[in-house]
Amino acid sequence: MTFASPADFRAALADLRGPDQGAIAAARARQAELTKPAGSLGRLEEIALFLAGWQGTARPRIARARAAIFAGNHGVTVHGVSAFPASVTAQMVANFEAGGAAINALSGAAGLELVVTALDLDKPTADFTIGPAMTEAECLAALNAGAAAVAGDLDLLTIGEMGIGNSTAAAALCLRSFGGAAADWIGPGTGVDAEGIARKTAVVERALACHLDAPADAFETLRRVGGREIAAIAGAVLQARRLGIPVVLDGFIGSAAVAPLAADNAAIAAHCIAGHVSAEPGHARLLARLGLEPLLALGMRLGEGSGAAVAVGVIRAALAAHDQMATFAEAQVSGSL
């Protein structure tokens, strides 16, 4: 068990390591020697430096990369907050296992090992409009399931989720972590209409009122208005940080899992790349609050780690250029005047 208690989780979140500045400096020096005008590969250059810092080497690589997908069920679905029935969560997990989901195709295309963790699907979280979604023990177990999906020898981790109703939980997490109005964080999710959005807004407002006087630290917010797959993502992101593994986040729900952690320690997202900005309207606002600039904007809103997996293609391209290009000296090309 990685996090022995809520206090242990809080201590880990309070004690975050930074990237290897020497490796970043060495990678920057190499970039300056490659046969291109300085800065001409734009964000690709920043990605190479980012991976150098977290992998602790001037020549980062992606030999072993994993897509970790977490699934959970939500008691809040009793309020009609999703366009799909809660039974779809387990059905989609079976689809992941059979190889028929988008993430199967996209993780394969990106060269990612797919690891699916289904968390007590037959035991939905409690309805968080009337009490905490999870007990302390349940939340801790989910955090640890997330941490357990992170292997020490990974060069990169991408993260995804599946959970009917979890865009409502994600909105509640964002509101409790960053404030604003419920409407700032609510969107159609799987595709609810205007009445569905109004129902989601009322549900999130009731949830926030229910937990108003409760402690607002990361563990309590995850436990009260999160979900098992969401807490698992939080545990995986924190464990990856402890191991120095860079993370690619996916869409609105995957990013919202980090929101309570960021409210306690703004440095938590430093080892994360936002793979994409999803079409869920709160995602752009959330990424801005996390200090992350999305790599892609493809109008995707699927979840299950799909946008993060697509972004890995760009990240691999960044490393290919960084690693394989000739220097000005090697290619006998004149440098800038």
Ligand X SMILES: Cc1cc2nc[nH]c2cc1C
Ligand Y SMILES: O=C(O)c1ccc[n+]([C@@H]2O[C@H](COP(=O)([O-])O)[C@@H](O)[C@H]2O)c1
Q: How far apart are CA 5 and CA 259, in angstroms?
A: 20
Instruction: Output the six-digit token pair for 136.
Output: 């302390």
Contact partner at residue 55 from ligand Y, ligand X, none, CB < 5 to 8 Å by partner kind: none
Q: How far apart are CA 256 and CA 167, in angstroms?
A: 9
Binding of residue 303 to ligand X (CB under 6 A): yes
Question: Least CB distance from residue 106 to ligand Y, whole Å?
Answer: 13
Contact partner at residue 305 from ligand X, ligand Y, none, CB < 5 to 8 Å by partner kind: none
192: which residues sit within 8 A by CB, 6+ positions away? 81, 82, 83, 199, 200
Q: How far apart are CA 13 and CA 288, in angstroms?
A: 21
Half-sphere exposure of residue 151, counting CA atoms within 13 Å on the CB side? 12
Find the part of the chain contacting ligand X (CB under 6 A) among 195-203, 232-240, 242-250, 296-304. 296-304
**Is 304 one of the catalytic residues?**
yes
Q: Which of 304, 310, 311, 315 binds ligand Y (CB under 6 A)?
A: 304
Find the part of the chain contacting ligand Y (CB under 6 A) among 40-48, 76-84, 130-138, 217-225. 76-84
Q: How far apart are CA 87 and CA 197, in angstroms?
A: 21
Given 45, 161, 220, 304, the catalytic residue? 304
Which candidate, 246, 7, 248, places its Cα nearest to that of 143? 7
Scan residues 264-303 and list those touching ligand Y (CB under 6 A). 278, 280, 283, 301-303
Binding of residue 279 to ligand X (CB under 6 A): no
Give me the count of residues in the chain: 337
Question: Least CB distance from residue 304 to ligand Y, whole Å?
Answer: 5
Nearer to ligand Y, 52 or 169 (CB): 169
Catalytic residues: 304
Give the binding site for ligand Y (CB under 6 A). Answer: 82-84, 161-168, 189-190, 250-253, 278, 280, 283, 301-304
